Chain A
Amino acid sequence: MSILHRALNRRDMLRLGTQTAASASMMATLGSLQTAMAASDTTGYKALVCVFLAGGNDAYNWLVPRSDAAYKEYADSRKNLALAKADLLAITPTNTGSALYGLHPSCPEIQTLFNTGKAAFVVNTGPLVQPTTLAQYKAESVPLPYQLFSHSDQQALTQTSIANSTARYGWGGRVADLLNAQGLRQSLAMNVSISGNNIFQGGRDTVLYNIGTDSAPEMNIYQDGYYHDGKRRELFLKLLALSGNEPSLLQKEYAGTLTRSYQTAETVNAALASVPALTTSFGSDYLSRQLKMAARMVRARDALGVKRQVFFVQIGGWDFHDTLLVDQAKKLGELSKALKSFQDALAEISAENMVTTFVASEFGRTLTSNGDGTDHGWGGHTLVLGGGVQGKKLYGTFPSLAVGGASDTGRGATLPTTSTDQVAATLSSWFGVSNSDLDTVFPNLRNFSERNLGFV
């Protein structure tokens, strides 16, 4: 396989960020960037896994307060969508004093992971440009995230972690740009998607690599025989090479993807085949199959020649405008089992401490009901899992769930108290990005006093 990196020069570094409203303040940090170069820690192996729940998970029926007053507030707001208190699965966070919490009844696996210290929640997270009070939100007196409550836009805000722009590059991609610029050299792209193209993993200088849930698909022209012989392969490559002479940039993009695909697949599959199969059993649902591939890639890390990986897996179906109670139970049950299998598999291959998983969604949903569902909200919860996670805790500030209360921006859409930037920066810091580089990757992070939430 050919493994090529153009060495980035300082000028490239200066272009590293994205075009944002914050670019002026970003420039101020660039002077210190050079001195910070190579400060990132890329020793050993680490992987981040983004599990994205597309559609907007109803976080407030995922993690529910059980203390009497807080539960009453919850039930009063959620009305016919409130879960019965007795059905909640008790979790026992060590940092919430006398406040009690429980999980949706379909999440016993997450309950166990949490209570055994392998998982934590960061509560009421969401895109923010800066810390924002309810009064500031209502008066629009501070910069607010772009196109709040729209699926496509909040997915972009969450995955770029730059709330006040239509940034082009995701934070996973920007971390890869940074680490590559600082000298990390590995044979396979840092960003691997098992769920197709996405915003999160695209960088300015680095692309993401897509793999299937079972393997990297290989061209069947490589199989000899009547229909596919060696000469056919030569012709395929010849025509592909000729396409590069033609002017269309769209065709070049297509040909580039096709080239990467055939150049990469056999090597990746060989690496996957070179390590023992996992004995941990996974479900047959799409999320489980994706996470199984992530675990296989982790196991094959040495054969793949990688020290840092970011995986993206995704499942849709979380847009619960209708039949919330039935649909969410099914989806959360699937999620809970898949996460358990994944953590079990990491334990099987002794990689628990090397892998941190975070479960994110574009927004939480309204606390109020539209009949039998909820609409697009803002704040939600992020679940983090892994051997390195300081688990059994709730990070951030659990919001008031009262309609018209201190956190309600309207309809019971909560105003986030922790920004996605802070979550992402904490994960990136664990991943090896130096403290000073965090400001380059997350241009709005400087607006928040707590740069590291300490959950990992």
Chain B
Amino acid sequence: MRIKGSMAWGAVRSASVVAVLSLSACGGGGGAGSTPVTPSPAPTPAPQLPVGKVAAARFLTQATFGPTLAEVEALQNATSFDAWLETQRAKPVSLELPYLQQLKAAGENVYQNQRMDAWWHNAVQGEDQLRQRMAFALSEILVVSDQSGPLNNDVEGLANYYDLLARHALGNYRTLLEEVTLSVPMGHYLSMLRNQKPDVAAGIRADENFAREVMQLCTIGLVQLNLDGTPKLDANGAAIPTYKQPDIEGLARVFTGFGSQHETANDPDWKFLYGKLDGLKPMESWQQFHDTGTKVIVGNTPIPAGLQADAELDMALDVLFNHANVGPFIGRQLIQRLVTSNPSPAYVARVAARFNDNGVGVRGDLFAVVKVILTDTEARNGNVTDPQTFGKIKEPLLRTTHLWRFFAAIGNNGRYDNWNPEIDYGQAPLRSNSVFNFFRPDYRPVGALTNAGLVCPECQITNEASITNLTNAMGDVAVNYVWSGGNGRDYYNSHTIVLDYRPWENRAMDANLPAFVDDLNVVLLGGRMSADYKSALVEYVKTTAATDGGKRLYDLAHNISSSAQFALQQ
């Protein structure tokens, strides 16, 4: 990779012991594609009940960048989420690169700022919300970052990388893995680009960077896993490493000979290093720079001598992709990005099983995976069955999109010129400080969570300094608005992203306020607002004159979005 009293006062935390969630596995859906010869008598179908308003809001909070009230109301009468999922699958892909190219064609210089604009656009306004949410999750697993020099200069290459994630977000992981591997941004970021076969005389080895991290982070992880994501243990109770250093060295030699795109069939050697490099196209193989010797990679898998670079890369990616770890390793992380930080082993096993076989014998089908992640009984009922441990801290970017989507926010200039979210949020799309993302899937804050055996990945970027910056930033989001009586603060800046409070003014009148807060509770807090919270909020909002509807809506948006309750997704 390239990296290319209050308790703060030293005092004591109370330990609290939490029973580890252990739901028994329930059967997944039946295998499609097999027709029974003799139909058995059809059982009386269970009554198909509407999913309800809170359940719809919770589902959409997991599956999108935040639901609007209209979306919740549209889904609440459905009897399952299947139709919504299928509709989402069929939506055209919202892409970043065409947007940037459009700006460029109009004469605008395209920098990382414009890429941020493109990301917010698709997150807030993209119709393909499920796909976009998955792409964002994948961008935190298959990490590249504009903090690396060559990538900072290749805005379009990075946008295209994100588009690659979006294109395959509901497709197959094997295809995604290969396109990521061969992408120029990943080639730069983990230095596989122009990695050459060893030169023994010159004392030069193959670069191990990508070989190591593609295993540690993108496919199989460090230790052998059971289907349910728990580590396999040896006779001494110790976790068993998935691979060892020689496996990395073998794989590093597989990943040799990929460089610039060929211009002709007989390019001179120097073009491998210095030839045409289009960040929008895959790296290409140069057999003369590929190590054709025999190799051994993970699982004692031999790679024979004399293969073409492309064939060998295919073979190695197949080995990684087919490793038993991938389903639980990637499945668990996707659950963590979408639903809950601490999924039960049974939940992980159900998701991993679907990764291994989508029901019709296909491995790596990400649509099948995200469908089981979102419709699993634990995702749907964890808030009731295990309110202590279920759920996750919402990533700061997602808190903002949630608010922006509810209030249909967009910049005065029609853009989303929030260029450096990392300053207050500790994160920005494709802007991690290292290939280890903004936070690790196994990060556990010391204290109560560690004592309870729980992880909280997002807590890694939540600390006494960042949390106040974020809380203040949420206030700054809500304070930019338009209402019938005028505008909020900073409205006249053309870059300001403005929340539209106009549709809600009537609902902020005294008589309508409690029912409106109920809706905000459902959509923004997943129905977790306590009676005391509600009455305190309503009482406070009423201290603003009813004639100042804009301020009242600001009060609602800001107080909810800056509360700890909004930080939790459950």
Contacts and interface: CB of A to CB of B under 8 A. Distances in A.
Interface of A: 1-6, 8, 54-55, 76-77, 79-80, 147-153, 168-169, 173, 176, 180, 186-190, 193, 196-197, 202-207, 209-212, 216-221, 226-228, 231-232, 235-236, 238-240, 242-243, 245-265, 316-322, 327, 366, 368-371, 373, 375-376, 403, 410-411
Nearest to A77: B203
A152 B436 contact: yes
28 contacts: A5-B5, A80-B202, A150-B212, A150-B222, A151-B1, A180-B10, A188-B10, A189-B10, A196-B461, A203-B446, A206-B12, A209-B9, A221-B475, A227-B479, A227-B489, A239-B537, A240-B564, A242-B532, A243-B565, A250-B341, A250-B454, A254-B462, A254-B567, A257-B463, A261-B467, A316-B3, A375-B205, A375-B209
Contact of A258 (B440, B448, B471, B540): B471
Given A247-B387, A249-B389, A263-B6, A254 B564 contact: yes
A403 B190 CA distance: 25
Contacts of B11: 3-6, 206
A177 B341 CA distance: 28
B464 A368 contact: no
B235 interface: no
B357 to A, nearest CB: 31
Between B2, B241, B434, B567, the greatest number of chain A beta carbons within 10 A of the residue's beta carbon is seen for: B2
Given A147-B241, A180-B10, A249-B389, A370 B204 contact: yes
B392 interface: yes
Contacts of A265: 464, 468
A368 B252 CA distance: 15
B8 A209 contact: yes
A217 B433 contact: no
Contacts of A6: 11-12
A4 B5 contact: yes
Please name the 8 residue pairs, one residue from A and one from B, whose CB atoms are nearest each other, closest first: A55-B3, A4-B5, A210-B463, A202-B446, A260-B8, A370-B207, A217-B468, A6-B12
Contacts of A206: 10-12
B447 A207 contact: yes
Given A152-B436, A209-B8, A210-B465, A219 B472 contact: yes
Contacts of A263: 5-6, 8
A258 B465 CA distance: 9
Contacts of A193: 463
Given A217-B469, A227-B554, A242-B532, A5 B10 contact: yes
Given A260-B8, A264-B6, 4 more contacts: A5-B10, A243-B565, A249-B18, A253-B445
Interface string B548-570: 00010011001100111101101
Given A249-B389, A254-B462, A370-B205, A260 B564 contact: no
B499 interface: no
A304 to B, nearest CB: 10
B449 A253 contact: yes
B530 interface: yes
A261 B10 contact: no
Between A203, A321, A411, the greatest number of chain B beta carbons within 10 A of the residue's beta carbon is seen for: A321
A248 B528 CA distance: 11
B415 to A, nearest CB: 25
Contacts of A209: 8-9, 464
B9 A205 contact: no
A73 to B, nearest CB: 13
B152 to A, nearest CB: 13
Contact of A260 (B7, B207, B472, B568): B7
Contact of B2 (A239, A249, A319): A319
B471 A259 contact: no
Contacts of B562: 236
